[in-house]
Amino acid sequence: KKKADFQGKRILITAGPTREAIDPVRYLTNRSSGRMGYALADAAVARGADVALVSGPVSLEKPEGVEFYPVQSAAEMYDRVMDLKDKADVIIMCAAVADYTPIVCAEHKMKKQDALVIEFEKTRDILAEVGKTKHAFLAGFAAETQNLEGYARDKLSRKNLDMIIANDVSGTETGFDSEYNAVSIYTRDGKAVHFTRDTKRNLADSILTEIAKISG
């Protein structure tokens, strides 16, 4: 039986995609299934943590034993995380937050037209904002299709993180929408740990073990 090494710890996890409304019936989103974040939440509960899960819209069942905060848009996720961040000992940002959102959401369903131009603005980077006033152990994810380590290490320092978990989403055997993943974990000491293809639930335990080693 696994020891409850996260007993008494409060973990905040973000998961899933966000939905950015274009009009009352249309939205922009991405291919995140939420599976990695939900696996982390489930594993953290099993190891004794108090878990707050902030989740974008997914088709997964809520893991048992979590405080659940469903959100839709990047802006809603931002507000919810800002409410919860100061109470957390460990924060793991697994959500695939939309990088852009329509500047205006049309009040009524847009009628068909020959060509359509929608103007987007950048969303606020939730992880980078949390990194600015850091009290908790902070871990982020990096999903890339090339130069995995370079981009991951850049995010680690730029967003003031303690750990970045990188996964290659260029293949079809792992990553988006899959039960499986393969990750490389980079930390501030310059070290790297690699975990080859496994279920997201097993990888969640491996990630938590790496976090426990550093955050104590």
159 belongs to an annotated ligand binding site: yes
Q: Which is nearer to ligand C5P, 15 or 49 (CB)?
A: 15
Q: Provide, rounded to whole angstroms, the least separation between the CB of residue 172 and ligand C5P.
A: 20
30 is catalytic: yes
Q: Which is nearer to ligand C5P, 6 or 78 (CB)?
A: 78
Q: Which is nearer to ligand C5P, 10 or 155 (CB)?
A: 155
154 belongs to an annotated ligand binding site: no
Sign, CA torsion 150/85/16/64: positive
Q: Provide, rounded to whole angstroms, the least separation between the CB of residue 145 and ligand C5P.
A: 11
Q: Provide, rounded to whole angstroms, the least separation between the CB of residue 164 and ligand C5P.
A: 8
Q: Which is nearer to ligand C5P, 49 or 93 (CB)?
A: 93
Separation CA 155–CA 134 (nearest Å): 15
141 belongs to an annotated ligand binding site: yes
134 belongs to an annotated ligand binding site: no
Among the listed residues 30, 147, 160, 202, the single catalytic one is 30
Buried (b) or exposed (e) across 167-185, using 16+ Cβ within 10 A? Answer: bbbeeeebbbebeebbbbb
Among 123, 120, 41, 143, smallest CA distance to 76 is for: 123
Q: Would you tell me which residues interact with ligand C5P (CB under 6 A)?
A: 14, 74, 93, 95, 97, 123, 125-127, 140-142, 155
Q: Provide, rounded to whole angstroms, the least separation between the CB of residue 140 and ligand C5P.
A: 3
99 belongs to an annotated ligand binding site: yes
Residues with catalytic roles? 30
**Which residues line the annotated binding site?**
99, 109, 141, 155, 159
**Which residues line the annotated binding site for CTP?**
99, 109, 141, 155, 159
